[in-house]
Amino acid sequence: MDSTTQDPLPDGSQLAAVDLGSNSFHLLIARIEHGEMRPVEALAEKVQLGAGLVNGHLSPQAIERGLDCLSRFAQLLESVEPERLRVVGTNALRVAKNRAEFTLPATRLLRSRIDVIYGREEARLVYLGVAHSLADDAQSRLVIDIGGGSTEFIIGERFEPQSMESLQMGCVSFADSCFPDGAISRENYRNAYDRARIQAYHFRHRYHARHWEECVGSSGTLNAIEAILVQNGWSEEGIDRKGLEKLEKKLLKFKQFEKISLDGLASSRRGVILPGVAITSALFDVLDIEHMRTSRGALREGVIYDLMGRLSHEDVRERTINALVQRYNVDSDLADIVEQRARTFFTATRKSWSLTTEDWELLHWTARTHEVGMAISHKHFNRHSAYLLRNADLPGFSQQEQEMLALLAQGHRGKLSAELLQDANSDDSPRARYLLAIMRLAALFKYAERLEQLPDFSIRADDSSMTLAFPAGWLEDHPLTAHELAGEQPTLARLGIELTLS
For the ranges 30-34, 139-143, 312-316, the maximum mean pLDDT occurs at: 139-143
Domain boundary among 285, 309, 333: 309
Residues 439 and 321 in one domain: yes
Of 486, 377, 474, 491, nearest to 439 by C-alpha is 491
Q: Give the burial class of 483: count Cβ atoms within 10 A of its Cβ; 0-12 exposed, 13-18 middle, 19 or more buried.
A: exposed
Residues 261 and 220 in one domain: yes
Task: Give the per-residue pLDDT at 5.
Answer: 44
CB 63 within 8 A of CB 50: no
What's the pLDDT band for 138 if we cut at 50, 70, 90? low
Q: In this structure, what is the dihedral angle of CA atoms 119, 121, 125, 130, given to the nearest 10 degrees? A: 50
**pLDDT at residue 228 is higher than 70:** yes
Residues 425 and 331 in one domain: yes
Residues 193 and 284 in one domain: yes
Residues 208-213 have a mean pLDDT of 94
Q: Report phi then psi at 69, rounded to 5.
A: -60, -45
Residues 174 and 288 in one domain: yes
Domain boundary among 287, 309, 331: 309
Residues 94-99 have a mean pLDDT of 94
Q: Which of 133-142, 191-200, 396-405, 474-483 has the lowest mean pLDDT?
A: 133-142
Q: Average pLDDT over the chain, rounded to whole?
A: 91
Strands 140-146 and 214-218: parallel
Task: Give the per-residue pLDDT at 35.
Answer: 75
CB 320 within 8 A of CB 394: yes
CATH code assigned at 193 = 3.30.420.150
Residues 109 and 41 in one domain: yes
Whole-angstrom distance, CA of residue 283 vs CA of residue 225: 14
Is residue 172 one of the residues assigned to a domain?
yes
Task: Give the per-residue pLDDT at 487.
Answer: 92
**pLDDT at residue 6 is higher than 60:** no
Task: Give the per-residue pLDDT at 2.
Answer: 46
Q: Which residues are CB-neighbours of 35 under 8 A, at least 6 positions away?
A: none
Whole-angstrom distance, CA of residue 305 vs CA of residue 132: 9
**pLDDT at residue 280 is higher than 90:** yes
CATH code assigned at 37 = 3.30.420.40
Is residue 481 one of the residues assigned to a domain?
no
Task: Give the per-residue pLDDT at 159.
Answer: 85
Q: How many domains does the chain have?
A: 3
Of 446, 442, 376, 448, nearest to 411 by C-alpha is 442
Is residue 459 one of the residues assigned to a domain?
no
What's the pLDDT band for 127 if we cut at 50, 70, 90? very high
Whole-angstrom distance, CA of residue 106 vs CA of residue 128: 26
Of 77 and 429, the one with more pLDDT: 77
Residues 341-354 have a mean pLDDT of 94
Expressed as residue numbers, the domain containing 12 is 2-117+302-309
CATH code assigned at 326 = 1.10.3210.10
Domain boundary among 255, 280, 309: 309
SS3 176: helix
What's the pLDDT band for 452 if we cut at 50, 70, 90? low
**pLDDT at residue 477 is higher than 90:** no
Residues 279 and 141 in one domain: yes
What's the pLDDT band for 431 if we cut at 50, 70, 90? confident
Is residue 494 one of the residues assigned to a domain?
no
Residues 139 and 262 in one domain: yes
Residues 53 and 146 in one domain: no
Residues 138 and 112 in one domain: no
Q: How many CB atoms lie within 10 A of CB 448?
A: 15
Is residue 327 one of the residues assigned to a domain?
yes
Residues 345-373 have a mean pLDDT of 95
Is residue 463 one of the residues assigned to a domain?
no
**pLDDT at residue 72 is higher than 90:** yes
Q: Which of 126-135, 377-386, 427-436 has the lowest mean pLDDT?
A: 427-436
What's the pLDDT band for 428 if we cut at 50, 70, 90? low
**pLDDT at residue 198 is higher than 80:** yes
Of 95, 97, 94, nearest to 114 by C-alpha is 94
Percent of the chain at pLDDT above 90? 77
DSSP states of 424-485 as a string? HT-TT-TTHHHHHHHHHHHHHTHHHHHHSPPPP-EEEEETTEEEEEPPTTHHHH-HHHHHHH
What is the pTM (predicted TM-score) of this model?
A: 0.86
Residues 162 and 273 in one domain: yes
What radius of gyration do the chain's Cα atoms show?
25
Residues 349 and 405 in one domain: yes
Task: Give the per-residue pLDDT at 287.
Answer: 97
Is residue 456 one of the residues assigned to a domain?
no
Is residue 496 one of the residues assigned to a domain?
no
Task: Give the per-residue pLDDT at 257.
Answer: 96
